[in-house]
């Protein structure tokens, strides 16, 4: 196999190295990448310069694409390639993108299995800001004392879009806010997600609102403390984008957020999502 991996940090992140670019677009490579994601949470492909068709091909090979948001975008790409941008010509509802300034996991408050992984390729970077930061809840969970892990294993958390909009309160007009959150329901997820192969990660982020069976302050304090734990330097990393980079991360193990950037910078990322096969309930 002509794909190799270099560790970015001991507990999180690998850089993918290849001799022949074509070796990335094979079923064998897709299997290897899936296995590596489960171990490392974040995979960086420097300057891969993907076309949309190639990005969809990798997404399909790695498990099949799933469409998340994007219904509001006036984009000119394939409907499965979501253009992440603050450009009002393309994205008339930038609050969805502004929400990504805060640590979250994609698709958590939606009533289907959350995506297994997200692929993001940089088409245009911002001159300042716009990096993406990742915090591994796989590494964070593994780093907790055993007794604490056992206590967390049985907890359940309520996720909602409304909770994820809290950091944007005051920005979005009340009428629009109601429209955005009014159509959504609350979804109960386990705090600790045991994947089919046995590895465990925590489902956290802005959508996580409260812990079932705990008082609201006690539950939220726990959620904040666990998130802060996963953000420590040993379990997290920041990716400085070069145009052409592809990053794939395991969505149910990798909290992610964008560093703020100028909406006029033209920053453009193309996102696809790999369907989650596992029911998280
Ligand atoms: Fe996201």
Q: What is the pTM of this model?
A: 0.93
pLDDT for res 192: 97
pLDDT tens series, the chain, 281 aa: 589 999 999 999 999 999 999 999 999 999 999 999 999 999 999 999 999 999 999 999 999 877 776 556 676 677 788 888 888 888 877 777 788 999 999 989 888 889 999 999 999 999 999 999 999 999 999 999 999 999 999 999 999 988 988 888 888 777 776 666 655 678 999 999 999 889 999 999 999 999 999 999 999 999 999 999 999 999 999 999 999 999 999 999 999 999 999 989 999 999 999 998 766 54
CA of 255 to the centre of ligand 1 (A): 8
Predicted local distance difference test score (pLDDT) of residue 238:
98
Give the distance (Å) from ligand 1 centre to CA of residue 105. Answer: 6
Predicted local confidence at residue 279, as pLDDT: 62
Locate the domains of the chain by residue range: 3-274
**Residue 211 CB contacts under 8 Å (≥ 6 apart), including other chains:** 155, 156, 157, 158, 191, 218, 219, 220, 222, 223
Cα-to-centroid distance, 12 and ligand 1 (Å): 18
**Ligand 1 center to 23 CA (angstroms):** 28
Q: Are 114 and 276 in contact (CB under 8 A)?
A: yes
The CATH class of the 3-274 domain is alpha beta
**How far is the centre of ligand 1, averaged over its atoms, from the C-alpha of 248 (Å)?**
12
| Residue 207 CA to ligand 1 centre (angstroms) | 11
DSSP state of 129: B
Q: How far is the CA of 147 from the centre of ligand 1 (A)?
A: 31
What's the gap in Å between 216 CA and the centre of ligand 1? 25
CA of 20 relative to ligand 1 center, distance in Å:
30
Strands 117-124 and 246-250: antiparallel
Place of tokens 């979804």: 187
Nearest to 13 by CA among 138, 180, 126, 128: 138
Distance 84 CA to ligand 1 centre (A): 9
């Amino acid at each position: 196999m002509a794909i190799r991996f270099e560790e970015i940090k001991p507990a999180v992140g690998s850089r993918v190295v290849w001799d022949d670019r074509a070796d990335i677009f094979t079923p064998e490579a897709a299997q290897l990448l899936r296995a590596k994601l489960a171990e490392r949470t974040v995979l960086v492909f420097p300057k891969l310069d993907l076309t949309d068709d190639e990005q969809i091909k990798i997404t399909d090979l790695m498990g099949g694409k799933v469409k998340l948001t994007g219904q509001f975008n006036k984009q000119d790409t394939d409907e499965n390639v979501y253009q992440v941008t603050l450009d009002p010509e393309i994205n008339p509802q930038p609050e969805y993108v502004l929400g990504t300034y805060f640590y979250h996991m994609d698709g958590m408050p939606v009533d289907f299995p959350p995506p297994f992984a997200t692929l993001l390729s940089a088409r245009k970077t911002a001159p300042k800001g716009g990096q993406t930061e990742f915090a591994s809840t796989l590494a964070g969970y593994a780093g907790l004392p055993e007794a604490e892990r056992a206590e967390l294993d049985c907890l359940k958390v309520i996720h909602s879009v409304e909770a994820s909009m809290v950091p944007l309160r005051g920005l979005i007009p009340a009428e629009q806010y109601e429209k955005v959150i009014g159509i959504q329901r609350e979804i109960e997820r386990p705090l600790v997600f045991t994947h089919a192969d046995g590895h465990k990660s925590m489902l956290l982020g802005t959508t996580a609102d409260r812990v079932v069976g705990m008082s609201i302050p006690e539950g939220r304090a726990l959620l904040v403390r666990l998130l802060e734990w996963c953000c420590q330097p040993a379990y997290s990393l920041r990716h400085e984008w070069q145009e052409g980079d592809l990053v794939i991360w395991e969505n149910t193990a990798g909290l992610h957020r964008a560093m703020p950037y100028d909406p006029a910078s033209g920053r453009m990322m193309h996102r696809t999502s790999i369907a989650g096969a596992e029911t998280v309930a």
